[in-house]
Amino acid sequence: MTDSLKPISYAIIRGKIHHDNLVSFGGRGGDLEFYAPDPQTIIDELPIRSPSDMADMYELSLDDVIDYLEELGTHLDFRTNDYLREAAEYSYQTAPTTPPIIDGFYATLPLMFNRERILQWVDNSVGREYLEGWVEKRINGSDFNVRAYGSRALHIVAGNGPTLGALTVLRGAVTRSDTVIKVPSNDPFTTGAIVRTMVDVAPDHPITKHVSVAYWRGGDEAFEKKLYQPHNLEKIVAWGGFSSVKHVTKYIQPGLELISLDPKHSASFVGEGGLESEEQIIEVGKRIACDVGVGNQVGCANCRTVYVMGGESDEAIERLVKLGHAVYDGMLGLPEDMSTRPKRYDPELKSHVDACRLSDDFYEVIGGQQGEGAVIVSKTSDPVDFSAYLADRTVNLVPIDTLEDFLDAVDCSTQTVGVYPPQWVDEVRHKGALHGGQRFVELGYNLNGPGLIGPQDGIEPVRRMVKWIINEKPTAAMTPMWEFKPGETHLVA
Amino acid sequence: MSSNAPAQQAPAIGPELEREARAWMDDPFAHFGYSNTRLHSVPREEQEAVQLAALNLRLAERRQQIPVLAKLADAQGIDSVATINDAAPLLFEHTVYKSYPISLLARQRFDQLSKWLDKLTPYDITGVDVSGCKSIDDWLGTLRAETPLDPANSSGTSGTMSFFPKSKADYRLSAMCFRVQLPQPFGQMPTEGDLKDKMHVMTPLYRDGHMSTGAFGKYMCEIFAFGDESYLHTAFQTKISSDLMWLAGRLRAAQAKGDVSKVDVPETLLARKAELEAMQRDMPAQQQAFVKSMVQELRGQRVFAMGTTPMFYEVAKSGLAEGIKDVFTPDSVVMGGGGAKGMVLPDNVDDIIKEFFGVPQLRSSYGMTELNSFTVTCEHGHYHFLPWVTVFLLDRDTGAPLPRSGVQTGRASFFDMTHDGTWGGIVTGDRITIDWDTPCPCGRTTPAIQGKVQRFSEVEGGDDKITCAATPEAQADALDFLNALEL
């Protein structure tokens, strides 16, 4: 096991573990340098040879698939699984979050493979019966059947949390897909550790044989040009920002579909009636603190800006500052497996926050001197101009007069909108949806819902990962076309 | 950041040191006899002694005049500094100059913007009536006309425009940095002509404006040609409009948001969108044509030519092919720079430009609006700071000053004691390296930048890091992509 002396992002291809021909990656700007098999040496094995090789997945019932996943879940306790233990150790260096939070993520891995959770998720996305067989329908006097088939899919996963690799394995298995996972440089280890566990537990199982994991540098043209071809893949599911999707778009052509999980941000709304008493201010502060602080604000569901109705009077601003303190106290009071002092407070962001602190006619800054996170209270209805940089437990509270002022800030990249008090939800979700908002929750529940096995957001990736196949059957009442007489033809699209 | 007072007391400033510091602060070029050689021959210890004295003098004076400085110094508990590095917590983040709410511009609240800007300058500008101002150009023009300031705005491409209270004296000093450092060879005293000749200035930009690229035309003409307008050659015969720049920034911001129906600028400004589009469309061709025509018009003259390396290269390549070379007199200056912008430049691009124009060196400059004193490259290609510029290298993460010895790489930060309109202490987003101990082979005693100047954001970037949360980088890339499509 001398290999384990250096950080290796293993390539695991259809049940076979590759750790030869290692080349070095990463290491920029103080990042961890890690090793992975030279992508050129594995590229020929990555794509499935023939679509008919996917037939073995259809010899399994959905129950068989879930049995496998449930069994796998019992092996993913990172306190006892050496692969995961090692991946976690290395992830402390590559991940954007801190060890207690990473441990927290790892601790949830077995829960993700819980049978009941998987079944609920399947029923609420594709539907169990569509994955299990042909579902009979009748429209317009014709019978037809629909079934959801898996696809040959490449997943370019995000690395802001180690659960995303596990999620991809789950999605690939229940949809009976052939899954190739390209891991990111901010988490090149976790997914490999999960798949190595699969190889240990069931080396010849079809699900094990239909998952591959590898690292190559996103944008490696010689590699990607060869792999990203319709004869190798049908779908590419790409997380992340423009730079990661940009590499992919040039290969998209008929026969190769892109499912782009666009980067998002989240903003919340506190309407009239939300800050009526001291107690309510403290509670709203705690709610916002959770939406901002949990997971150290590295996710798209984390709140970054909160718009608060009540106007800009001195009295209103005073109340807003009080709320700011409640948010700050709430954030610092979160337990360390939920939130910690950020790994490294973005110096660029600090420069902006410090400038606000000096501009006290327009802003009040609470905290932020020790790299612990900060609350910036705007004294006018303007959010800070660097709102796109808000991270590392930094939130901006903005006073507004009406709901419409909030809607101006909602656009197609808005994922989650937290709303309070609850009587505002109906109006905010309707108007917010028109502006592009995708997920509406009660304030304080941004990260406390069905989770990623829920619908995720407006993209519904699982429904798009499958191929919807139609089989039509004539009914006895239909006249065959070859028996039509002139004038009887009614071809209706 | 903490509010610990420095343990040591500031060293007492004797009358002789104070006189020297005042001379450097007030009229530095006169003090050094406008000699490039003298400027860059002050021993390092002497430079730093004067710099430390000037830091304390300026701090005492400016904290009474600049409220934001007073607030920062109070928060840090700093009244005086014992060493140069003690002053690092007193440098302003460059973001301070755009820390106003963005809606003040959209709502044209120039009275409130004046009030905000007033807190960043020693000059009282609150007495100037700006209530009638209808545009940014109008507002900045009024301040230029009625105060010693000539505030500079940034391009606003990030969506927010910064306003830097530069004074007219600051601009003149900036222009003088070029006039003195570029034409005079190091090691030789200035000739009569170096000091008194009118020199032609050619710039592929504007004659005037409130963006510093525009205003420089005006001040270069003063300093290089003693105000003779016929010696100022610009690609565009107009004043660049700050309002149009603002419009461009807000259009980009609206595009990025996916709602172009909401561009938060006044109607009157939105009506100028076609003018902006024509300007953006025609600019590159006009600049290229300008450089070509100048080569004819200024042949055999002593010229200070500013432009980008690719721009000069295009003209030089075709000129040499036609057998034209040595276009300007050998004591002229050609200053290039700028990225290749998708062009592939040959390795010997400098030689091609030098041969065509007939100058000994292709020069370049490092500087910014927020720093009066521009640096230029020496014979060895290093940017040397002027002796009155205190350079700080700050740790990227902690902001703590790095030691002033050995080879250090950090965030470039400066205190320029000559600043008249502002506090003159600034933290930039640039990453530079300085070798404090090894003198430059060119013979200058002033500190110099080793290697390339880079933005921290370029150097780090997300090397294949993928996340689901929107980041500014992702957005900026998206904008670049949109722009590429528009071409």
- Verify whether the Cβ–Cβ distance A242 to B475 is below 8 Å: yes
A176-220 pLDDT, tens digit each: 999 999 999 989 999 999 999 999 999 999 999 999 999 999 888
A96 shares contact with chain B (CB less than 8 Å): yes
What is the token pair recorded at A89?
Answer: 């150790």
pLDDT at position B262 is 73
A33 shares contact with chain B (CB less than 8 Å): no
- Output the average pLDDT for chain A: 92
| Res A491 pLDDT > 90 | no
Q: How many CB atoms lie within 10 A of CB A442?
A: 17
A424-451 pLDDT, tens digit each: 999 999 999 999 898 999 999 999 987 7
Give the Cα separation of A77 and A109 in Å (integer): 7
- Output the average pLDDT for chain B: 88
| Res B474 pLDDT > 80 | no
Q: Is A28 helix (H, G, I), strand (E, B) or coil?
A: helix
**Rounded to a whole number, what is the distance in Å from the CA of B8 to chain A's nearest CA?**
24
DSSP of A193-207: HHHHHHHHH-TT-HH
Question: CB-based burial of residue A434 (10 Å sphere; 0-12 exposed, 13-18 middle, 19+ buried)?
Answer: exposed
Is A352 within 8 Å of A392 (Cβ atoms)? no
Alpha-carbon separation of residue B234 from A243, A328, A383, B212, B230 (angstroms): 38, 54, 39, 14, 11
- Verify whether the Cβ–Cβ distance B99 to A28 is below 8 Å: no
Question: CB-based burial of residue B198 (10 Å sphere; 0-12 exposed, 13-18 middle, 19+ buried)?
Answer: middle
Is B201 within 8 Å of B231 (Cβ atoms)? yes
pLDDT at position B478 is 36
Question: CB-based burial of residue A21 (10 Å sphere; 0-12 exposed, 13-18 middle, 19+ buried)?
Answer: middle
In 3D, which of B163, B147, B183, B234 has the Cα closest to residue B34?
B183
Q: How far is CA A491 from the centre of its chain?
A: 44
Q: Which amino acid is at B108?
A: Q
What is the token pair recorded at B294?
Answer: 């100048």
What does residue A468 show for φ and ψ, rounded to 5 degrees? -90, 115
Q: Full-prediction pTM beyond 0.90? A: no
First-to-final CA distance of chain A = 64
Give the Cα separation of B132 and B139 in Å (integer): 9
- Site from A24, A33, A189, A351 to mutate, B interface, most B CB atoms within 10 angstroms: A351
| Res B487 pLDDT > 70 | no
Question: Where do the structural domains in chain A lie, given as residue ranges?
Answer: 2-262+459-471, 265-453
Q: Is A486 helix (H, G, I), strand (E, B) or coil?
A: coil
Q: Looking at per-residue confidence, does B34 or B307 come out higher?
A: B34
A366 shares contact with chain B (CB less than 8 Å): no
**HSE of A306, CA atoms in CB hemisphere, 13 A:** 33
Residues of B in contact with A436 (CB under 8 A): 258
Q: How far is CA B272 from the centre of its chain?
A: 28
A281-291 pLDDT, tens digit each: 999 999 999 99
Is A366 within 8 Å of A374 (Cβ atoms)? yes
Please report, to the nearest 10 degrees, the dihedral formed by the alpha carbons of residues A201, A202, A207, A208 taken in order: 80
Picking from A236-245, A379-388, B33-42, B468-477, which range would have the lowest pLDDT averaged per residue?
A: B468-477
Q: For residue B95, give the nearest of A298, A355, A369 by CB distance.
A: A355
pLDDT at position A434 is 93
Is B166 within 8 Å of B369 (Cβ atoms)? yes
- Provide the chain A residues 303-342 that lie in CB contact (below 8 A) with chain B: none
Give the Cα separation of B10 and B80 in Å (integer): 6
**Rounded to a whole number, what is the distance in Å from the CA of B68 to chain A's nearest CA?**
6
Question: Where do the structural domains in chain B lie, given as residue ranges?
Answer: 15-94+370-483, 105-366
**Rounded to a whole number, what is the distance in Å from the CA of A479 to chain B's nearest CA?**
51
Give the Cα separation of B294 and B316 in Å (integer): 12
| Res A454 pLDDT > 80 | no
Q: What is the mean pLDDT of residues B240-268?
A: 81
Give the Cα separation of B150 and B168 in Å (integer): 6
Q: Which residues of B447-466 are buried (b: 16+ CB within 10 A; e: fewer)?
A: bbbbeeeeebeeebebbbbb
- Verify whether the Cβ–Cβ distance B95 to A352 is below 8 Å: yes
Helices then strands, each counted (H, E), chain A? 18, 19
Is A443 within 8 Å of A312 (Cβ atoms)? no
ipTM, 2 dp: 0.81
Give the Cα separation of B127 and B111 in Å (integer): 10
Alpha-carbon separation of residue B289 from B204, B216, B357, B391 (angstroms): 10, 21, 17, 40
Say which residue the tokens 């390396």 belong to: B309
Cis peptide before A474 (omega within 30 of 0): no
- DSSP-H helix ranges across A210-346: 221-227, 242-249, 278-293, 314-332
Q: What is the mean pLDDT of residues A13-33?
A: 87
Q: What is the DSSP letter of A264?
A: B
Give the Cα separation of B455 and B434 in Å (integer): 16
B193-228 pLDDT, tens digit each: 999 999 999 998 889 999 888 899 999 999 999 999
Size of interface A-B (CB pairs under 8 A): 167
Q: For residue A347, give the nearest of B399, B462, B471 by CB distance.
A: B399
Is A180 within 8 Å of A154 (Cβ atoms)? yes
Say which residue the tokens 């406390």 belong to: A448
Say which residue the tokens 């998206």 belong to: B478
A432 shares contact with chain B (CB less than 8 Å): no
- List, in order, residues 6 or more apart from B20 with CB less than 8 Å away: B50, B53
**Rounded to a whole number, what is the distance in Å from the CA of A441 to chain B's nearest CA?**
18
- Provide the chain A residues 36-95 that lie in CB contact (below 8 A) with chain B: none
- Verify whether the Cβ–Cβ distance A362 to B101 is below 8 Å: yes
Give the Cα separation of B286 and B331 in Å (integer): 27
Q: Which amino acid is at B200?
A: H
pLDDT at position B454 is 83
Is A475 within 8 Å of A141 (Cβ atoms)? yes
Give the Cα separation of A385 and A376 in Å (integer): 12
Is B426 within 8 Å of B87 (Cβ atoms)? no
- What chain B residue is nearest to A303 in terms of C-alpha separation? B469
A67-124 pLDDT, tens digit each: 999 999 999 999 999 999 999 999 998 888 899 999 999 999 999 999 999 999 999 8
- Verify whether the Cβ–Cβ distance B99 to A355 is below 8 Å: yes
- List, in order, residues 6 or more apart from A272 with CB less than 8 Å away: A309, A310
Q: What is the mean pLDDT of residues A5-11?
A: 89
| Res A309 pLDDT > 90 | yes
Give the model's confidence band at A29: pLDDT under 50 very low, under 70 low, under 90 confident, else very high: low
- DSSP-H helix ranges across A9-127: 39-42, 62-74, 82-94, 99-107, 109-112, 115-124
Give the model's confidence band at A453: pLDDT under 50 very low, under 70 low, under 90 confident, else very high: low
In 3D, which of A10, A33, A32, A7 has the Cα closest to residue A21?
A10
Class of domain A2-262+459-471: alpha beta
Give the Cα separation of B178 and B167 in Å (integer): 18
Question: For B227, left (φ over 0), alpha (ψ -120 to 50), or beta?
Answer: left
* CATH assignment, A265-453: 3.40.309.10
% of chain A with per-residue pLDDT over 70: 96
Residues of A in contact with B72 (CB under 8 A): 358
- List, in order, residues 6 or more apart from B203 with CB less than 8 Å away: B216, B217, B220, B233, B234, B235, B306, B307
The residue length of chain B stands at 487
First-to-final CA distance of chain B = 46
Mode of pairing for the β-strands spanning B407-416 and B425-435: antiparallel
B435-460 pLDDT, tens digit each: 999 999 999 999 999 988 887 766 66
